[in-house]
C-alpha cells in the first residue's frame, strides 16, 4: 500500500512570516508517519514551499519565466531555501526513526509552459522498493518554453499518485479540510464529500502563495481522484485515518 502525502506549506511554516518553521507541527507529522510505517504502509512525501520558497520566488518573479542573470540567481536562491526547508523536515523524520531521503524535484523534472512535462521516476521507485521514504517538494524547475516555472507540490503529488498507482493521496492543510466558508468565519462547515470543483467558498490563503492557492489544489485533487486514487484533504491530526480510509473530520474528494 503506497500513500502519497502532500504536506502543505501552511502546515509546517507560518506563511505570513518569512523562513519560519513550525517545528512542533513537523514533530506531530513525523509521529503520524511513523505510525503508518509501523502498519506496513509505504509513504512518499511532497511538501509545499510555505514561507521558505514563495517569498523568494515572488521577489524574483520566477512565475513569469525567463533566463536573465537575475532570474537565474532567483532560481538558485529559491532552490537553496527549499532545500533548507526539506532538510528541516527530514531532520524531524530522522529523529523519529524514519529513513526519509530528500529528492531534488528540479533535478528530475522538466516543465513545458508551466505544466509538468517529464519526471524521472526511477530513483523514487528504487527508494520505495528499498524501504526508504522519498521526500520531494514544490520547486522551481527548468521549463522548455519559458526558461523556468514554479511547479506546485500539489501538481507533483497528483502526478506521482497517478503514475505510481498510489492507494491514497492525502493533502495535509493547516485549515484541516475544505469548508463552506473560510474556516475562521462563523457558520463555516466542513465539507465531508466534495463532488465538484465549484460551489465551495474558498478563503484567501494567509501569507504569500504564487501557485494558485486552494482552488488550484482542488484542481489537482480531482485530477488524482479521476485516475483512481482515493483523495482526502484534512489536518495532520487525522493523517492515519485518512490514509486508512477511517472515519474522521476531513474532506473526501469524489470524482464527478
Q: 78 with 104: CB under 8 angstroms?
A: no
Determine whether the annotation assigns residue 10 to a binding site.
Answer: yes
Up-side HSE of residue 40: CA atoms within 13 Å toward CB?
Answer: 1
* Cell numbers placing 196: 465538484
Percent of the chain at pLDDT > 70 equals 93
Percent of the chain at pLDDT > 90 equals 78
Which tens digit of pLDDT belongs to each residue from 101-129?
A: 999 999 999 999 999 999 999 999 999 99
* Cell numbers placing 142: 527548468
Determine whether the annotation assigns residue 6 to a binding site.
Answer: yes
Determine whether the annotation assigns residue 48 to a binding site.
Answer: no
Residue 36: alpha-carbon gap to chain centroid:
18
Determine whether the annotation assigns residue 234 to a binding site.
Answer: no
34-38, 181-185, 200-204 — most confident range: 34-38
Mean pLDDT, rounded, for 9-18? 87
User: pTM for the full model?
Assistant: 0.92
Mean pLDDT, rounded, for 68-86? 96
Determine whether the annotation assigns residue 177 to a binding site.
Answer: no
Determine whether the annotation assigns residue 49 to a binding site.
Answer: yes
Which tens digit of pLDDT belongs to each residue from 33-66?
A: 999 999 999 999 999 998 998 899 999 999 999 9
Determine whether the annotation assigns residue 71 to a binding site.
Answer: no
Q: What is the mean pLDDT of the chain?
A: 91
Mean pLDDT, rounded, for 128-154? 97
Domains of the chain: 2-253 (3.40.1160.10)
Closest to 172 (Cα-Cα) out of 102, 223, 248, 114: 248
Tell whether the model's pLDDT for residue 205 goes beyond 90: no
Query: Listing from the earlier edge strand, what are the strands of the sheet with 115-119?
Result: 115-119, 109-112, 139-143, 147-151
**What pLDDT does residue 238 have?**
95
Amino acid at each position: 500500500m503506497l500513500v502519497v502525502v502532500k504536506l502543505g506549506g501552511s502546515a509546517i511554516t507560518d506563511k505570513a512570516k518569512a523562513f519560519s518553521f513550525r517545528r512542533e507541527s513537523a514533530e506531530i507529522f513525523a509521529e503520524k508517519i511513523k505510525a503508518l510505517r509501523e502498519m506496513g504502509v509505504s509513504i512518499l512525501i511532497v511538501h509545499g514551499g510555505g514561507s521558505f520558497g514563495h517569498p523568494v520566488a515572488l521577489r524574483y518573479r520566477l512565475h513569469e519565466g525567463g533566463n536573465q542573470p537575475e532570474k537565474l540567481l532567483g532560481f538558485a536562491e529559491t532552490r537553496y531555501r527549499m532545500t533548507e526547508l526539506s532538510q528541516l523536515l527530514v531532520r524531524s523524520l530522522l529523529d523519529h526513526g524514519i529513513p526519509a531521503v530528500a529528492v531534488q524535484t528540479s533535478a528530475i523534472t522538466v516543465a513545458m509552459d508551466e505544466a509538468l512535462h517529464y519526471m524521472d521516476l526511477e530513483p523514487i521507485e528504487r527508494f520505495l522498493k528499498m524501504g526508504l521514504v522519498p521526500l520531494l517538494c514544490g520547486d522551481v524547475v527548468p521549463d522548455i518554453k519559458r526558461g523556468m516555472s514554479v511547479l506546485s507540490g500539489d501538481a507533483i503529488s497528483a502526478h506521482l499518485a497517478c503514475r505510481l498507482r498510489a492507494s491514497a493521496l492525502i493533502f495535509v492543510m493547516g485549515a484541516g479540510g475544505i469548508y463552506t466558508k473560510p474556516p475562521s468565519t462563523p457558520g463555516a462547515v466542513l465539507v465531508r464529500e466534495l463532488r465538484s470543483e465549484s460551489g465551495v467558498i474558498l478563503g484567501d490563503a494567509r501569507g504569500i502563495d504564487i501557485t494558485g492557492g486552494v482552488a488550484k489544489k482542488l484542481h489537482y485533487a480531482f485530477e488524482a481522484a479521476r485516475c483512481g486514487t482515493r483523495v482526502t484533504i484534512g489536518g495532520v491530526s487525522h493523517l492515519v485515518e485518512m490514509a486508512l480510509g477511517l472515519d474522521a473530520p476531513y474532506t473526501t474528494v469524489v470524482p464527478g
